[in-house]
């Protein structure tokens, strides 16, 4: 009997929900309101953007010193949390969501994860909304997914305070693979003068001294308990999103990579910094993968691995006015691991200052891969105390044994111009595959001097590298083979990408 009544009730309820959702008036009215809000917001967004593009003009060496250096993050100072009641002035509009109003304490010890999730849930529903993480507070936050795809567009994450990561495994729960994750959003901006502190030192293991030609000691960690050995990574990650902007903030001491973009279209990173010790293992600065239309400028990157790492699937990437060091330099790759296909094209890296890095600009691919790297310009790279300023390594391998293969990721159209400064090991190392030589490699205005003349240093090395020298170089790079390889060297799968 009672079961029947329940069924009847459920039926009536369903019908009324259906009728409500079919009524057109309220929906249209709401949409109209959001539309008005969004126009205003996106107008101002466009204005702001074009202003930045306009100001990034001069590209020659002299101008670099005139550029305001990226903010050098001051040493981590212990914040004294001031958990005073939230100020009322920052939620004067229905589009602003302050985490303090959602129960965040910001005292550096209380777990504020739930409050961040609640603030996000509210902001997600409103177009051009703003989440506020106020200054002078330190928010202890575990892994959070700020995820679309059902969120409104153009959300701003105003980060003026500090967000700190858990340092013990119990807070990472079942998702130890990222910390602050933004996915499937259309228009997401992280801005402000705040800090994301990954407190990663607890995860860093001592790594043996790096071999300059094979830095990837990173894969050496004996895996006895994967979830225990692999710290959460990366600190801040964007996945599958359009129009992503990161500016103003600094990211410290991530357990591994600091800032990662994968499957994103339209990324701008500027006026921000990354800081972790030069000997912290696996701590890439910015990691790009399967992303296109990416601009990175006005950033200072100091870390223990690649300052910027460009992985497969990246195209139309423009990196300029970046300071790198310590770190392993700016790298394309490694590509083609485990016989995979990799495609990278149209990459420009210019007006870069590198100090005390392992590599300068590097392309690294594994034997056995396929696909191609095409159209790369490295221009005006000022190096000082860099071990290996110019590197192509098509025999890239970690410390496991590697064998040579007939296939490789094809490299063509790589230009180096105005690479100047001092090195400590070898100025130029271009090692290309026997079966697939590198073609159209152009070197111009290269001036690389050993830091200390008295040590025996290596001269330039080239293997199966074809192209041209447009100007005399210092030192002379006689090993480059001028012109094109004979046709029997051209691999057939050039259409792979």
Ligand X SMILES: *[C@@H]1O[C@H](CO)[C@@H](O)[C@H](O)[C@H]1NC(C)=O
Site string for ligand X, 58-77 (x = CB under 6 A): -------------x------
Examine residue 434 and tell whether it contacts ligand X (CB under 6 A).
Answer: yes
Candidates 279, 205, 273, 258; CA nearest to 68 is 273
**CA pair distance 307, 323, nearest whole angstrom:** 9
Rounded to a whole number of angstroms, the minimum distance from the CB of residue 346 to ligand X is: 4
Judged by CB under 6 A, the stretch of 223-231, 328-336, 418-426, 473-481 that binds ligand X is 223-231
CB 248 within 8 A of CB 298: no
Cα torsion 311, 312, 313, 317 to 10°: value is 30
Examine residue 91 and tell whether it contacts ligand X (CB under 6 A).
Answer: yes
Cite the active site residues.
Answer: 328
Candidates 302, 326, 437, 308; CA nearest to 378 is 308
As beta bridge partners, residue 365 has 335
Q: What is the CA radius of gyration of the chain?
A: 25
CB 201 within 8 A of CB 253: yes
Three-class SS of 255-323: CCCCEEEECCEEEEEEEEEEECCCCCCCCCCEEEECCEEEEEEEEEEECCCCCEEECCCCEEEEEEEEE
Rounded to a whole number of angstroms, the minimum distance from the CB of residue 4 to ligand X is: 43
**CA pair distance 89, 98, nearest whole angstrom:** 10
Closer to ligand X by Cβ: residue 368 or 389 = 368
Rounded to a whole number of angstroms, the minimum distance from the CB of residue 24 to ligand X is: 30
Examine residue 404 and tell whether it contacts ligand X (CB under 6 A).
Answer: yes
**CA pair distance 385, 280, nearest whole angstrom:** 19
Q: Pick from 176, 248, 300, 437: which binds ligand X (CB under 6 A)? A: 248
Rounded to a whole number of angstroms, the minimum distance from the CB of residue 59 to ligand X is: 13
Rounded to a whole number of angstroms, the minimum distance from the CB of residue 227 to ligand X is: 5
Examine residue 348 and tell whether it contacts ligand X (CB under 6 A).
Answer: yes
Rounded to a whole number of angstroms, the minimum distance from the CB of residue 480 to ligand X is: 16
Closer to ligand X by Cβ: residue 231 or 329 = 231
Candidates 416, 424, 403, 404; CA nearest to 465 is 416
As beta bridge partners, residue 195 has 162, 250
Site string for ligand X, 175-194 (x = CB under 6 A): ------------------x-
Count of residues engaged in binding ligand X, rule: CB under 6 A: 20
Q: Pick from 34, 108, 169, 230: which binds ligand X (CB under 6 A)? A: 169
Examine residue 201 and tell whether it contacts ligand X (CB under 6 A).
Answer: no
Q: Pick from 44, 50, 227, 470: which binds ligand X (CB under 6 A)? A: 227
For residue 26, give Cα distances in angstroms to 23, 33, 152.
Answer: 7, 11, 18
Query: What tokens does 93 get?
Result: 């509009």
Judged by CB under 6 A, the stretch of 26-34, 39-47, 85-93, 109-117 that binds ligand X is 85-93
Examine residue 406 and tell whether it contacts ligand X (CB under 6 A).
Answer: no
Closer to ligand X by Cβ: residue 169 or 457 = 169
Q: Which residues bind ligand X (CB under 6 A)?
A: 71, 88, 91-92, 101, 169, 193, 225, 227-228, 248, 271, 316, 318, 346, 348, 395, 403-404, 434
């Amino acid at each position: 009997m009672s079961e029947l009544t329940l069924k009847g009730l459920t039926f009536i309820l369903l019908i009324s929900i259906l009728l409500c959702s079919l009524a057109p008036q309220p929906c249209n009215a709401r949409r109209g309101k959001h539309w008005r809000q969004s126009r205003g917001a996106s107008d101002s967004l466009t204005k702001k953007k074009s202003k930045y593009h306009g100001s990034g003009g001069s590209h020659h060496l002299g101008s670099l010193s005139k550029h305001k250096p990226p903010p050098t993050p001051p040493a981590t100072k212990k914040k004294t949390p001031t958990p005073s009641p939230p100020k009322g002035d920052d939620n004067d509009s229905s589009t602003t969501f302050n985490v303090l109003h959602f129960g965040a304490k910001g005292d550096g010890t209380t777990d504020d994860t739930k409050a961040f999730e609640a603030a996000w849930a509210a902001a997600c529903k409103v177009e051009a909304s703003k989440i506020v993480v106020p200054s002078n507070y330190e928010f202890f936050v575990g892994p959070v997914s700020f995820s679309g795809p059902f969120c409104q567009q153009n959300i701003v994450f105003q980060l003026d305070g500090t967000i700190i990561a858990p340092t013990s495994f119990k807070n990472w729960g079942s998702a130890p693979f990222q910390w602050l994750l933004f996915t499937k959003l259309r228009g997401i901006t992280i801005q402000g003068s705040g800090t994301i502190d990954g407190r990663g030192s607890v995860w860093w293991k001592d790594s043996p001294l790096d071999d300059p030609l094979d830095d990837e000691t990173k894969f050496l960690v004996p895996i006895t308990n994967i979830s225990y050995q692999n710290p959460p990574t990366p600190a801040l990650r964007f996945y599958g999103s359009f129009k992503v902007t990161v500016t103003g903030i600094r990211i410290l001491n991530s357990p591994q990579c600091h800032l990662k973009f994968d499957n994103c279209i339209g990324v701008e990173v500027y006026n921000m910094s990354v800081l972790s010790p030069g000997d912290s293992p696996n701590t890439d600065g910015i990691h790009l993968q399967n992303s296109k239309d990416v601009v990175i400028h006005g950033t200072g990157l100091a870390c223990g691995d690649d300052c910027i790492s460009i992985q497969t699937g990246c195209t139309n990437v423009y990196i300029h006015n970046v300071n790198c060091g310590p770190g392993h330099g700016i790298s394309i790759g490694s590509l083609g691991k485990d016989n995979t296909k990799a495609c990278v094209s149209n990459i420009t890296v210019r007006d870069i200052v590198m100090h005390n890095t392992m590599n300068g600009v590097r392309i690294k691919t594994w034997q056995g891969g396929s696909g191609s790297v095409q159209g790369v310009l490295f221009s005006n790279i000022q190096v000082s105390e860099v071990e290996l300023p110019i590197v192509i390594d098509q025999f890239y391998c970690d410390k496991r044994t590697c064998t040579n293969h007939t296939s490789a990721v094809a490299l063509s159209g790589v230009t180096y111009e105005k690479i100047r400064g001092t090195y400590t090991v070898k100025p130029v190392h271009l090692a290309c595959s026997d079966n697939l030589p590198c073609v159209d490699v152009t070197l111009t205005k290269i001036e690389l001097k050993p830091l200390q003349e008295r040590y025996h240093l290596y001269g330039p090395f080239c293997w199966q590298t074809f192209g041209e020298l447009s100007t005399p170089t210092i030192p002379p790079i006689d090993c480059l083979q001028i012109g094109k390889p004979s046709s029997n060297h051209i691999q057939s799968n050039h259409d792979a990408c």
